[in-house]
Amino acid sequence: MTDTFLDTNNCVNRLLVEYVQHKKLIVAVDFDDTVFDYHQKGRTYEYVIDLLRRCQKHGFWVVLFTACSPDKAESQKAYLTMRGIEVHSVNQNPIDLPFGNDGKIYFNILLDDRAGLGQAVEILHQVIDVIEYKSTPPWKEPNSHGERPGDICCLRACGGVCYEHDPLNYRGK
Protein backbone atom coordinates (compact mmCIF):
# COMPACT_ATOMS: atom_id res chain seq x y z
CA MET A 1 0.00 0.00 0.00
CA THR A 2 1.33 3.42 -0.95
CA ASP A 3 0.86 6.76 0.77
CA THR A 4 -2.02 8.61 -0.88
CA PHE A 5 -0.20 11.92 -1.10
CA LEU A 6 2.86 10.55 -2.85
CA ASP A 7 0.64 10.65 -5.95
CA THR A 8 0.62 14.15 -7.46
CA ASN A 9 -2.95 13.79 -8.74
CA ASN A 10 -4.17 13.12 -5.20
CA CYS A 11 -2.39 16.27 -4.00
CA VAL A 12 -4.01 18.32 -6.77
CA ASN A 13 -7.44 16.88 -6.00
CA ARG A 14 -7.06 17.53 -2.27
CA LEU A 15 -6.26 21.20 -2.92
CA LEU A 16 -9.17 21.51 -5.33
CA VAL A 17 -11.54 20.11 -2.70
CA GLU A 18 -10.16 22.56 -0.13
CA TYR A 19 -10.51 25.44 -2.61
CA VAL A 20 -14.12 24.56 -3.38
CA GLN A 21 -14.87 24.24 0.33
CA HIS A 22 -13.17 27.48 1.48
CA LYS A 23 -12.97 29.55 -1.76
CA LYS A 24 -9.33 30.30 -0.90
CA LEU A 25 -6.07 28.52 -0.19
CA ILE A 26 -3.12 29.49 1.98
CA VAL A 27 0.22 29.35 0.18
CA ALA A 28 3.27 29.50 2.43
CA VAL A 29 6.38 30.59 0.57
CA ASP A 30 10.01 30.61 1.60
CA PHE A 31 12.11 33.50 0.33
CA ASP A 32 15.77 32.61 -0.27
CA ASP A 33 16.25 30.47 -3.40
CA THR A 34 12.48 30.12 -3.76
CA VAL A 35 11.56 33.62 -4.99
CA PHE A 36 14.90 35.41 -4.56
CA ASP A 37 18.40 34.55 -5.81
CA TYR A 38 20.09 34.45 -2.40
CA HIS A 39 23.34 32.97 -3.74
CA GLN A 40 23.45 35.40 -6.70
CA LYS A 41 23.73 32.73 -9.38
CA GLY A 42 21.63 34.62 -11.92
CA ARG A 43 18.37 32.84 -11.13
CA THR A 44 15.16 34.83 -11.52
CA TYR A 45 12.45 32.57 -10.06
CA GLU A 46 9.98 34.21 -12.47
CA TYR A 47 8.07 30.94 -12.82
CA VAL A 48 7.32 30.90 -9.08
CA ILE A 49 6.63 34.66 -8.96
CA ASP A 50 4.19 34.37 -11.88
CA LEU A 51 2.47 31.44 -10.17
CA LEU A 52 2.01 33.47 -6.98
CA ARG A 53 0.49 36.30 -9.02
CA ARG A 54 -1.94 33.81 -10.58
CA CYS A 55 -2.81 32.54 -7.09
CA GLN A 56 -3.59 36.05 -5.94
CA LYS A 57 -5.99 36.58 -8.84
CA HIS A 58 -8.08 33.87 -7.17
CA GLY A 59 -7.87 35.35 -3.67
CA PHE A 60 -5.27 32.99 -2.23
CA TRP A 61 -3.48 34.13 0.90
CA VAL A 62 0.31 34.30 0.66
CA VAL A 63 2.28 33.76 3.85
CA LEU A 64 6.00 34.51 3.90
CA PHE A 65 7.48 31.56 5.79
CA THR A 66 11.06 32.50 6.57
CA ALA A 67 13.74 31.72 9.14
CA CYS A 68 15.24 35.21 9.06
CA SER A 69 14.95 38.00 11.62
CA PRO A 70 11.83 40.20 11.70
CA ASP A 71 13.82 43.15 10.28
CA LYS A 72 14.99 41.12 7.30
CA ALA A 73 11.51 39.67 6.85
CA GLU A 74 10.17 43.21 6.33
CA SER A 75 12.64 43.78 3.48
CA GLN A 76 11.66 40.39 2.01
CA LYS A 77 8.00 41.38 2.22
CA ALA A 78 8.82 44.69 0.49
CA TYR A 79 10.66 42.81 -2.29
CA LEU A 80 7.62 40.60 -2.91
CA THR A 81 5.30 43.62 -2.87
CA MET A 82 7.55 45.27 -5.45
CA ARG A 83 7.17 42.12 -7.59
CA GLY A 84 3.37 42.31 -7.38
CA ILE A 85 2.85 39.78 -4.58
CA GLU A 86 0.80 40.83 -1.56
CA VAL A 87 2.08 39.12 1.58
CA HIS A 88 -0.78 38.61 4.02
CA SER A 89 1.37 37.60 6.98
CA VAL A 90 4.89 36.62 7.97
CA ASN A 91 5.45 33.38 9.90
CA GLN A 92 1.88 33.34 11.19
CA ASN A 93 -1.58 32.39 10.01
CA PRO A 94 -3.10 35.05 7.74
CA ILE A 95 -6.49 34.63 9.43
CA ASP A 96 -7.72 33.46 12.80
CA LEU A 97 -7.74 29.66 12.80
CA PRO A 98 -8.32 27.19 15.63
CA PHE A 99 -4.96 25.55 14.82
CA GLY A 100 -1.48 26.50 13.67
CA ASN A 101 -1.11 29.26 16.24
CA ASP A 102 1.51 27.74 18.54
CA GLY A 103 4.49 26.83 16.38
CA LYS A 104 3.89 25.49 12.90
CA ILE A 105 1.59 27.74 10.90
CA TYR A 106 -1.22 26.31 8.80
CA PHE A 107 -0.94 26.28 5.01
CA ASN A 108 -2.50 24.30 2.18
CA ILE A 109 0.78 24.14 0.26
CA LEU A 110 4.39 25.14 0.89
CA LEU A 111 6.74 26.51 -1.76
CA ASP A 112 10.29 26.04 -0.50
CA ASP A 113 13.53 25.13 -2.29
CA ARG A 114 14.26 22.64 0.49
CA ALA A 115 10.84 21.00 0.42
CA GLY A 116 10.20 19.75 -3.10
CA LEU A 117 9.73 23.14 -4.76
CA GLY A 118 9.40 21.68 -8.26
CA GLN A 119 6.62 19.27 -7.35
CA ALA A 120 4.79 21.84 -5.19
CA VAL A 121 4.91 24.38 -8.02
CA GLU A 122 3.58 21.83 -10.50
CA ILE A 123 0.77 20.83 -8.13
CA LEU A 124 -0.21 24.45 -7.60
CA HIS A 125 -0.07 25.15 -11.35
CA GLN A 126 -2.44 22.26 -11.98
CA VAL A 127 -4.84 23.56 -9.32
CA ILE A 128 -4.82 27.07 -10.80
CA ASP A 129 -5.24 25.65 -14.31
CA VAL A 130 -8.39 23.78 -13.29
CA ILE A 131 -9.76 26.85 -11.46
CA GLU A 132 -9.08 29.12 -14.44
CA TYR A 133 -10.40 26.76 -17.09
CA LYS A 134 -13.26 25.47 -14.87
CA SER A 135 -12.98 22.15 -16.69
CA THR A 136 -10.34 20.12 -18.43
CA PRO A 137 -7.45 22.38 -19.46
CA PRO A 138 -7.08 22.58 -23.25
CA TRP A 139 -3.71 20.80 -23.34
CA LYS A 140 -5.34 17.68 -21.90
CA GLU A 141 -8.00 17.64 -24.63
CA PRO A 142 -7.56 15.95 -28.02
CA ASN A 143 -5.87 18.24 -30.54
CA SER A 144 -7.30 19.23 -33.93
CA HIS A 145 -6.42 15.75 -35.26
CA GLY A 146 -8.11 13.95 -32.34
CA GLU A 147 -4.78 13.00 -30.79
CA ARG A 148 -4.49 12.98 -27.00
CA PRO A 149 -1.44 13.92 -24.89
CA GLY A 150 1.14 11.17 -25.26
CA ASP A 151 -0.18 10.05 -28.64
CA ILE A 152 2.01 10.00 -31.73
CA CYS A 153 1.74 13.79 -32.15
CA CYS A 154 3.74 14.25 -28.97
CA LEU A 155 6.30 11.68 -30.03
CA ARG A 156 6.77 13.42 -33.39
CA ALA A 157 7.51 16.69 -31.59
CA CYS A 158 11.10 16.04 -30.54
CA GLY A 159 10.06 12.92 -28.64
CA GLY A 160 8.42 15.10 -26.01
CA VAL A 161 5.17 17.01 -26.03
CA CYS A 162 3.67 18.71 -29.07
CA TYR A 163 2.74 22.40 -28.95
CA GLU A 164 -0.98 21.72 -28.45
CA HIS A 165 -0.33 19.48 -25.44
CA ASP A 166 2.32 21.60 -23.76
CA PRO A 167 0.78 23.38 -20.74
CA LEU A 168 3.44 26.10 -20.87
CA ASN A 169 1.79 27.38 -24.04
CA TYR A 170 -1.43 28.07 -22.13
CA ARG A 171 -0.53 28.93 -18.55
CA GLY A 172 -1.18 32.43 -17.39
CA LYS A 173 -3.06 33.43 -20.54
How confident is the model over 80-138, as pLDDT tens digits? 999 999 999 999 989 888 876 777 899 999 999 999 999 999 999 999 988 988 766 66
Domain ranges of the chain: 4-135, 137-173
Contacts for 156-162: CB closer than 8 Å, 24+ residues apart = none
133 versus 150: which is more confidently predicted? Answer: 133
Task: Report which residue type is found at 14.
Answer: R
106 versus 144: which is more confidently predicted? Answer: 106
Is the pLDDT at 54 greater than 50, yes or no?
yes
Whole-number average pLDDT of the chain: 84
* Second CATH level (architecture) for the domain 4-135: 3-Layer(aba) Sandwich (3.40)
Q: State the pLDDT at residue 1.
A: 44
Single pTM value for the model: 0.78
Q: How would you label 81-101 residue by residue, b for 16+ Cβ within 10 Å and e otherwise?
A: eeeebebbbbeebbeeeeeee
